[in-house]
Amino acid sequence: MRLSVFHRTTYRYRSPVVESYNELRLRSATEDKSRLEFFLLRVDPPARLRHYRDDWFNYVHYFDLPEAHSSLIIEAQSIVNTTNPYADCIPSGVPMRSLKTGLDDMMAPFIADSCYVEVSPEAWRLGVDIRDGREDVFETAEAVMHHIFREWTYAPSTTTVATHMNEVLASRRGVCQDFAHVMIGICRSLGIPARYASGYLYNGPGANLRGAEASHAWCEVYVPGRGWFGLDPTNNTRADERHVKIATGRDYHDAAPVSGYFHGPQGATSALEVEVEVRPK
């Protein structure tokens, strides 16, 4: 699927701020021009953009604005070609026991605690109940996805980007970021490596997908011998050609689309607006 993506983040400050530093994960990490045909990034006030690859191989742009400014606009435009990783096969048939012998040290960060995810006793107890004796890795992960979709309430504005998985476990309310964190925590508690994926979601004609109006998030699980596969608990669906993946990491902290800081008068605040449009090209 060939998709055009437009993303604008706007900060408006109550008082002028200085020494703003920002990191952006808005460009797909691929170097394959058949997958990423076009990418353009613009910031206002203008700034020199630099980039690097982070520990998770994400493409990170960064810039600083030392001078005073009252607003900051970040715009990213992309044309991407997506494919369905499940088109050829479903990664079933891999037993849970393979998780004890089929993982290398590269998987260690994805089965441990991270900034917003805890492999807690509560997550483990819930995971054992959901697993219900299943012995297939991918089937178990899908069962976790189905459970979160059924039992959690999609409730915008009830959480923030700093909400921890444990709060969402208790409230059973949240948005895509929260559901991804909960799924990651439950899967890790069962020994299934799981990571956070951020990007966008195409909500085609007649579709009613949650999270398509902004940056989206879902979970990827590692199936030994098969690789990483995305599952979207917000929409109870496998991550397919409608999902435009931009960054991955242990949780939101590693894959946030825009992050940074600034200095300003005591009590200085900012208003945030995010616009996202994904359409066929």
Mapped to the 3 state alphabet, what secondary structure does 158-178 carry? CCCCCCCHHHHHHHCEECHHH
The half-sphere exposure of 16 on its side-chain side, counting CA atoms within 13 A, is 7
∠ CA 59-89-215, nearest 5°, is 35
Q: Are 11 and 71 in contact (CB under 8 A)?
A: yes
From the list 170, 183, 116, 179, the residue with the least C-alpha distance to 144 is 183
Distance between CA atoms of residues 79 and 146, nearest Å: 31
pLDDT of residue 158: 94
Amino acid at 21: Y
Going residue by residue through the chain, which has 281 residues, state the pLDDT in tens, using 9 for 90 and above: 999 999 999 999 999 999 999 999 999 989 888 899 999 999 999 999 999 999 999 999 999 999 999 999 999 999 999 999 999 899 999 999 999 988 999 999 999 999 999 999 999 999 999 999 999 999 999 999 999 999 999 999 999 999 999 999 999 999 999 999 999 999 999 999 999 999 999 998 878 899 888 899 999 999 999 999 999 999 999 999 999 999 999 999 999 999 999 998 876 778 999 999 999 98
Residues 25-46 pLDDT 10s: 999 989 888 899 999 999 999 9
Question: Which pairing describes strands 153-154 and 270-280: parallel, antiparallel, or unpaired?
Answer: unpaired
pLDDT of residue 200: 97
pLDDT of residue 267: 66
Give CA separation, 54 vs 213, 224, 257, in Å. 27, 24, 13
Distance between CA atoms of residues 247 and 254, nearest Å: 8
pLDDT of residue 240: 96
Distance between CA atoms of residues 169 and 178, nearest Å: 9
pLDDT of residue 192: 98
Distance between CA atoms of residues 23 and 35, nearest Å: 23
Residues 87-123 pLDDT 10s: 989 999 999 999 998 899 999 999 999 999 999 999 9
Q: Is the pTM of this model over 0.75?
A: yes
From the list 233, 263, 201, the residue with the least C-alpha distance to 3 is 201
**Helix locations, the chain, DSSP H:** 121-131, 137-151, 165-171, 176-189, 252-255
Which contiguous run of DSSP H or E holds residue 241?
none
